[in-house]
Amino acid sequence: MTTPPADTVADTAPAAGPAALELADVRKVYGAGDTEIVAVDHATLRVGDGEIVALLGPSGSGKTTLLSIAGGLLSATQGRVVVGGEDITGHSAAELTDFRRSKVGFVFQSVNLVPFLTAEENLLVVSELSGARGGARKQAKARAKELLGELGLAHRAGNLPAQLSGGERQRVAIGRALFNGPALVLFDEPTSALDTKIGEQVMELIQAEMRSRHTAAVIVTHDTRMTHYADRTVRIVDGVLGAEPVEGDLAAH
């Protein structure tokens, strides 16, 4: 690993080149009047094509809400959301479903693998939901085997999630997120249930997979030990994005 120049500090400044994600003046408000709760407050963020951004904040800071808006799981109360060149701000529920299948991948904190499906079948769920038939099914199966091989799980393809370690389950989840070649992958606390050693292995894998595909990623975390795997780190506190440098927030390449 080489250390980048010292001016590569954490910030919310736009990355150069095409954008995988653009959030413009995004707000998310629950309730109204005296009961109004602002979860995300006028957030503006641009993630470049192939860039890895760590979104760092404590519990309740709004980071998961912001991630959900970026992925079309939640609609913003105000503002504009563009992913991979597609403006999803006014999308209907059906349009958001199609968008999530093709443009974005998710890796959740709880992994969310289907417990009665094998590792390979958990990847194939993506193609089944997209209505793959005939030759497309064969291609999907080959794709699943390829991804599991890349992730070091070829020998675990036939195992159920309960038969896998925590790190292996996380790798299956990463493979599922990458299955359709999304423009952006969103990670919600991917290492929170793992010990430090396994967590670092997962982060190294995430970094390598994103780099090899030139795929952008936003990684939500509260753990500053993991932020050096990102190109830059953006803080969020009480729903507000900030640009304060964080110790160790330099990219690792």
Within a domain: 88:
yes
Distance, in Å, from the CA atom of 230 to the CA atom of 141, rounded to the nearest integer, reads 31
Residue 181: Cβ within 10 Å count: 11
Within a domain: 135:
no
pLDDT digits (tens, 9 = 90+) for 142-159: 999 999 999 999 999 999
| Residues above pLDDT 70, as percent of the chain | 86
Within a domain: 155:
no
Could you tell me the CATH number of the domain that includes residue 205?
A: 3.40.50.300
Within a domain: 30:
yes
In the predicted model, is pLDDT for residue 12 greater than 90? no
Within a domain: 163:
no
pLDDT band at 16 (very low <50, low <70, confident <90, very high): low
Q: Domain span at residue 99?
A: 19-103+182-242
Within a domain: 147:
no
- 52-66, 70-84, 180-194: segment of lowest average pLDDT: 180-194
In the predicted model, is pLDDT for residue 208 greater than 70? yes
In the predicted model, is pLDDT for residue 250 greater than 80? no
pLDDT band at 44 (very low <50, low <70, confident <90, very high): very high
What's the rounded mean pLDDT across residues 114-121?
94
In the predicted model, is pLDDT for residue 7 greater than 50? no
| Tokens matching residue 96 | 């958001």
Task: Check residue 2 and give its pLDDT.
Answer: 37
In the predicted model, is pLDDT for residue 248 greater than 50? no
Within a domain: 194:
yes
What's the rounded mean pLDDT across residues 233-241?
94
Task: Check residue 8 and give its pLDDT.
Answer: 32
Residue 105 belongs to what H/E stretch?
A: strand 104-107
pLDDT band at 243 (very low <50, low <70, confident <90, very high): low
Within a domain: 54:
yes
Task: Check residue 39 and give its pLDDT.
Answer: 95
What's the rounded mean pLDDT across residues 184-199?
89
Beta bridge partners of 45: 23
In the predicted model, is pLDDT for residue 11 greater than 60? no
Amino acid at 153: L
Distance, in Å, from the CA atom of 86 to the CA atom of 91, rounded to the nearest integer, reads 10
Q: How many folded domains does the chain comprise? A: 1
| Tokens matching residue 211 | 């780099």
Select from 8, 184, 11, 12 the least CA-distant residue to 84. 184
